[in-house]
Structure 1
Amino acid sequence: MQLVVTGATGFIGSRLINHALSRGYRVMALARNPDQVSPRQSSRLHVEKWSLGDPLPAVMRASAILHLAAYIPTDFGDAHQAARCFEVNTHGALQLAMDAASQGVKRFVFFGSGQVYTPTSEPASETSAAFPVHRASYYLASKLSAEICLLSFGTANAMPVTVLRLASVYGPGMHGAGMVPTFIRALGSGRSVVIREGGRYRVDLVYVDDVISLALAAIEKEQAGIFNAGSGQACGSLEAAQIIAEALGADPNLVNVEGNGRDENVTGFAALNVAKAVEQLGYTPRSFRQGIEAWNAETVLSDAQSASVQE
């Protein structure tokens, strides 16, 4: 069974390729920078230079395309970025699906965003209202538009489309200035972190391997439609910092809180209701504590293996 992965050098894409290869899949990785794709030594991995908007290379009758590549603007609030978002994220995804269908690709898996939902105090299900006007509207609207176009095209052309609406993904290989890597870098080096507004910020944090397992399950179980890919529960910033400090063995006093967390106006994003994925795809997401422990254990093991090689 062959999978085609776009966005192959990204945080999720590179991890996905490793998991797919370990399960015995053949993988074609499509990337703007092919030299950055790893592990290059696998005989079941083929890498092609490709960017969204380019014609799809020959992938005749691949089992599925897993589409992760996207245009992410540097300034989410810049209206001048809207056209590019829709050109790449919506039209580019649709063109990719059209190319895939013409080559007989059997399935299409699109990685969307769980932040498209209208803010609510209850966990959002796949049928909850989606209206992303509170943050990153141009980017999120382009991702939501891509979902609509892909599902419509797939239905009309007998190519099943699976949409995974991702919560905030974390885990090995991630980078950037998000809440989780920021806390890990600071607490891991003995520096303090400041939790603002009393820790009112809450978000559904999902471990990267759980997202990957869900994507592969959708292919293996041949399930189309929209599925939430979250942990099923929102985690507050204070709780997240405390869990990370405990996992790293950091001094808990490094976690400092500013402001009042008793305000009823919780900020952030609602949890994603994952009941559909649990029922139809056997999804078993980790809690944030379990995910951080898994990440920490892998990092310790990786460090130990590196030290052993050097010796």
Structure 2
Amino acid sequence: MTILITGVAGFIGSHVAAALLDRGEEVIGIDDLNGYYDPALKAARLARLAGRDGFVFRRTDIADREAIRDLVNHRPAIDRVVHLAAQAGVRYSLEAPHSYTRTNVEGHLCLLELARHLPGLVHMVYASSSSVYGGNRHLPFSEADRVDTPLSLYAATKRAGELMAHTYAHLYRLPLTGLRFFTVYGPWGRPDMSAWLFTDAILTGRPIRVFNQGRMQRDFTYIDDIVSGVIAALDLPPADGAGEGGVPHRVFNLGNNAPVALEDFIRAIELACGREAVKVLEPMQPGDVPATYAEIGQARHLLGFEPRTPISEGIPRFVEWFRAYHGN
């Protein structure tokens, strides 16, 4: 297979690329290496892939229509797409809303257009987010729940991506699968995520900001479990008629199916770091939700998805990597 991965220098994208290369696939990776967080981290992830048999990298902005169209002309043999590039972050969407519509809506549209013009396309998998559940108060979150009350622009753009994918599956019978990720963490993670922020602060003796007075729960999901789910989804393109409305489009939750209280998550990091955190309790932030919890019955049944990594194992692995990466 020849697989295009967008966001290949990102946290999830770099791990998925490595796993696909491990099983002998040809991977074409694209990323614009933007400055939302330190590009040096993205370069370090890419360095782990560079030189591997079957890997090609092109620096490309997914919202650049000409550049994306050029991929069809030069790489028509692409038969699968893993679209993970996005402007991430709930809170940053309050500061830079236009970057979210550009990347998560216009960029997503460019990838859908790419997919429909690839002559040999078998399947496109794309990243959605647990944020689409927004103000939903029913736990656990199920793919059958209504998702029409987003609480952040980030969530709204991710939901828009799902609706656009459904439309393209209907119009062009494109096999498309959306994956709603639940709070992914692990080695090579993002600096704006809680595992990184808390670990960095604890190791340097700085206070950590604990929102909603600590009364929060998250379905923290380890990166290796997410990668297994992405690849299982990629290997199972939906048949025409498999999805809602009789179109070849499905959406899966990929989460740990075991929400963790924020105070327990912090305690796991404290244990792995060997020191206690200095906590500053703050109110809930705009756009946040008090709890996330993935119902994964559909992913279990159809994908064989089975998360296996509790935070008692995943957090020490992350902290070990974090220390090594920073030479500490």
TM-score (norm 2): 0.78
Of the candidates 68, 93, 101, which is equivalent to residue 55 of structure 1?
68
Alignment of 1:54-203 (within 5 A): 54-56=67-69, 57=71, 58-72=74-88, 75-78=92-95, 81-82=97-98, 84-104=99-119, 105-117=121-133, 118-134=135-151, 136-137=152-153, 139-189=154-204, 193=208, 195=210, 198-203=213-218
Matched, 1:291 2:291: no
Offset of residue 120 of structure 1: 1.4
**Contact 2:269–2:319 (CA<8 Å) still a contact in 1?**
no
Partner of 1:89: helix, strand, or coil?
helix
**Contact 1:168–1:205 (CA<8 Å) still a contact in 2?**
yes
Tell me, in whole angstroms, the C-alpha distance in 2 between the residues paired with 1:219 and 1:175. Answer: 24
**Contact 1:121–1:270 (CA<8 Å) still a contact in 2?**
no
Counterpart residue identity of residue 282, structure 1: G
Counterpart residue identity of residue 102, structure 1: H
**Contact 2:4–2:81 (CA<8 Å) still a contact in 1?**
yes
Q: CA 1:215–1:186 in 2, change beyond 3 Å: closer, same or farther?
A: same
Partner of 2:217: helix, strand, or coil?
strand
Offset of residue 99 of structure 1: 1.8
Partner in structure 1 of residue 241 of structure 2: none
Counterpart residue identity of residue 52, structure 2: S
Matched, 1:12 2:12: yes
Tell me, in whole angstroms, the C-alpha distance in 2 between the residues paired with 1:28 and 1:274. Answer: 30
Offset of residue 87 of structure 1: 3.9
Counterpart residue identity of residue 131, structure 1: D
**Contact 1:232–1:272 (CA<8 Å) still a contact in 2?**
yes
Tell me, in whole angstroms, the C-alpha distance in 2 between the residues paired with 1:86 and 1:216. Answer: 27
Partner in structure 1 of residue 293 of structure 2: 271
Q: CA 1:191–1:99 in 2, change beyond 3 Å: closer, same or farther?
A: closer
Tell me, in whole angstroms, the C-alpha distance in 2 between the residues paired with 1:30 and 1:298. Answer: 25
Cα deviation 1:231-280 (Å, max 9, x = unaligned): 112222110011122233x13x5465859xxxxxx952321111111111
Partner in structure 1 of residue 38 of structure 2: none
Counterpart residue identity of residue 181, structure 2: L
Tell me, in whole angstroms, the C-alpha distance in 1 between the residues paired with 2:87 and 2:213. Answer: 34
Q: CA 1:101–1:212 in 2, change beyond 3 Å: closer, same or farther?
A: same
The percentage of counterpart residues that share the same residue type is: 23
Alignment of 1:185-224 (within 5 A): 185-189=200-204, 193=208, 195=210, 198-223=213-238
Tell me, in whole angstroms, the C-alpha distance in 2 between the residues paired with 1:274 and 1:140. Answer: 20
Matched, 1:41 2:54: no
**Contact 1:119–1:270 (CA<8 Å) still a contact in 2?**
no
Tell me, in whole angstroms, the C-alpha distance in 1 between the residues paired with 2:256 and 2:219. Answer: 6
Moved more, 27-36 or 172-181: 27-36
Structure 2, unaligned stretches of length 5 or more? 35-41, 239-248, 283-287
Partner in structure 2 of residue 3 of structure 1: 3
RMSD: 3.0
Structure 1, unaligned stretches of length 5 or more? 260-265, 307-311
Counterpart residue identity of residue 239, structure 1: D
Partner of 1:268: helix, strand, or coil?
coil
Cα deviation 1:199-252 (Å, max 9, x = unaligned): 20222211122111111101223345100111112222110011122233x13x
Tell me, in whole angstroms, the C-alpha distance in 2 between the residues paired with 1:40 and 1:258. Answer: 43
Tell me, in whole angstroms, the C-alpha distance in 2 between the residues paired with 1:258 and 1:157. Answer: 50
Offset of residue 164 of structure 1: 0.2
Partner in structure 1 of residue 260 of structure 2: 235
